Amino acid sequence: MRQHVNPLSQFFQLPLTLPSKNVIFKKSHYPIHIDIGSAKGEFLIELAIKYPDWNFVGLEIREPLVSLCEKKRKQLELNNLKFLFCNVNVSLDEWLSDLDYGQLKRVSIQFPDPWFKRKHFKRRVLKTSLLNSIAKAMSKDGEIFIQSDILKLIESMTNTIDKNRYFNRKYLGDLRCVDKNPYNVKTDREILSLKNNLLIYRAMYIRNSLLFIN
């Protein structure tokens, strides 16, 4: 399975109509946690088991991984979890606009593709337009959690969010201030990084009280 796909290729620029929350969840009124770049899905599977009164959505641009995760989810009969294939920067805004205001409580972006070459920076997932879509759907005190084992990438991500008027960083200063994943569930990449004694850089952002202005 390919580790990376180019999100700017013509195929991934085609907008997809994602199924509504009322279609994918039996109890569609529950608060929602979205994990962008859900990979093999183990992080969300464990959360969905631990917190049955939440709904979880894993969004992944590699379609074979989504099929694999959905197979595992169905075997476990987790009705509060759904994995969806999409390019979030193309297809997520419309899906978020159908949520009840404030229903989106948490968004996590963990160990996203780094795209090291400067000419490829535009392929990175976190963009101002995506942040604004999240801000529009999220009420005060909602969370965005990010982490990576690549300092230059996490610095780029924090720079992008720091410039956004709708989110405030919870811990200022050293990106190692958040000493563990706040959800007490590790991703596969997180486990591997810790095993290899790599530093993990994290940041938590809180949605402030400013009303979203288009």
Beta bridge mates, 178: none
Span 27-207: which CATH code?
3.40.50.150
Predicted confidence at residue 123, as pLDDT, reads 80
Q: How far apart are CA 33 and CA 54, in angstroms?
A: 7
Give me the phi and psi of 33, to 5 degrees please.
-115, 120
**Cβ-proximal residues to 20 (8 Å cutoff; 6+ apart), any chain:** 95, 98
Cα torsion 168, 149, 182, 27 to 10°: value is 90
Q: What is the pLDDT of residues 136-192, one digit of tens each?
A: 999 899 999 999 999 999 999 999 999 999 999 998 777 776 778 899 999 999 999
In the predicted model, what is the mean pLDDT of residues 51-73? 97
24 to each of 19, 29, 87, 125, 138, how far by Cα in Å? Answer: 7, 12, 18, 24, 20
Is 100 part of the annotated catalytic residue set?
Answer: no
Active-site option among 35, 100, 113, 174: 113
Q: What integer pLDDT is reported at residue 121 of this predicted model?
A: 75
Domain boundary assignment for the chain: 27-207
| Whole-number pLDDT of residue 116 | 66
- Return d(Cα 54, Cα 147) in angstroms, integer: 22
Residue 131 near residue 14 (C-beta atoms within 8 A): no
CA 182 to chain centre: 14
Q: Which helix (H) or strand (E) holds 44?
A: helix 42-50
| Of 2-6, 23-27, 123-127, 178-182, minimum mean pLDDT range | 2-6
| pLDDT value of position 115 | 54
What does the pLDDT read at residue 118?
A: 76
